[in-house]
Amino acid sequence: MEQLELADGATVFRPGERSSHAYRVESGAIEILIGEPGAVLTQYGPGETFGEIGMLEGRLRRYGARAAGATRLTRLSSEEWSQACLANPEAVLVYLRTLFRRVREIDERLLRLPPDAEPLRVGATRLRLVPASPEAEKALPGGELRIRTFPFRIGRASTGGESEQNPPDLMLNDRAPHNVSRRHLSLEVVAGRVVAADLGSSLGTQVNGVRVGGQHKESEINLQPGRNEIVLGGSRSPHRFLLFVETD
C-alpha cells in the first residue's frame, strides 16, 4: 500500500486511463468528475474508497477524480484490495452498503447533468461485430452481434474443469497453441471515444493493422468511425472480426 499526499485540485486519474489501483480516502475529500474539464458527480470523504470497480474489471476509467482540498490517500493494488477484504469480512458488508448508495447517487446526478456533460453517455454510439473468418463465424452464428453494454470483453472460453468468476461477454473456442487469452480484449466508450484495450493477452491484438498488447508497448487504441478490422492473437490467427462504429 502506498500513501499519497495531494494538494487541492490535484488529479488522481482521468477518463480513459488504465484502472490499476483502488484508493481509500484517509483525510480530505475526493471529487468524482464526468467529462472534460469535468462536472462533479459526487464527493468521497475519509474512510470511503473509489476506483475499485474499474480496477477489479480491468477496464478504462470512465470518470475522473481530483482532490478537493489537501487530501491523503492510500493506494491499493488488486492483490492488496483482495487481502484487505479477506482479512475483514465485516468491512466488506459496510463497503457494499456504501457502494449501493453511491450507485443511486450517481444515477440521480446523471439525470440532472447539463447537456455539455453528454460525451460520456454511450447511447448514441452503436457497435456491430461481424465475423471476417470461418472461425469467427462459429462464435457469431447469427452473422453479427450488436454491442449495447460496455465494457464488452472478448476472451477464450474455458475448457474441462476450468471455472471463470467473471467470464468474457464473447467467448471464443481456441485450440492450442492458443491465439486468444482468457482475458484478451475490451471494447469501451470513454469520453466520446470508442477504445479497444488489450487486457494483457500473450500475443496481443491487431486493430486496423496496428499491434497493441502482448509484447507491444501500447495496450489500447482508438477505433475509427465506420469499419475496423480486429485480429485477436498473432498475424495468422483465425479469429478475425470487423467492428463497425456507428453514431447518430
| pLDDT given for residue 149 in this prediction | 77
C-alpha to C-alpha distance for 214 and 200, rounded to whole angstroms: 6
pTM of the model: 0.59
Residue 203's pLDDT is what? Answer: 94
Residue in this structure with the C-alpha cell 495531494, named with its chain if needed:
6
- What are the start-end ranges of the H helices in the chain? 52-57, 78-87, 89-111, 134-139
Q: What is the pLDDT of residue 122?
A: 42
For 2-119, CATH gives 2.60.120.10
- The per-residue pLDDT for 207 is 96
**2-119 and 125-247 share one fold:** no
Residue-wise pLDDT tens digits, 100-126? 776 776 666 566 655 555 444 444 678
Instruction: Count the neighbouring beta carbons within 10 Å of the beta carbon of residue 69.
Output: 13
Beta bridge partners of 211: 206
pLDDT at residue number 209: 94
Q: CATH top-level class for 125-247?
A: mainly beta
**3-state SS of 149-205?**
CCCEEEEECCCCCCCCCCCCCEEECCCCCCCCCCCCEEEEEECCEEEEEECCCCCCE
CA separation, residue 129 to residues 114, 123, 136 (Å) = 32, 17, 10
Among 21, 92, 18, which residue's Cα sits nearest to residue 50?
21
Domain ranges of the chain: 2-119, 125-247
Predicted local distance difference test score (pLDDT) of residue 114:
58
pLDDT averaged per 10 residues, the chain (length 248):
92 85 90 78 82 78 89 90 80 73 66 54 72 94 85 84 68 92 88 84 94 86 94 94 88
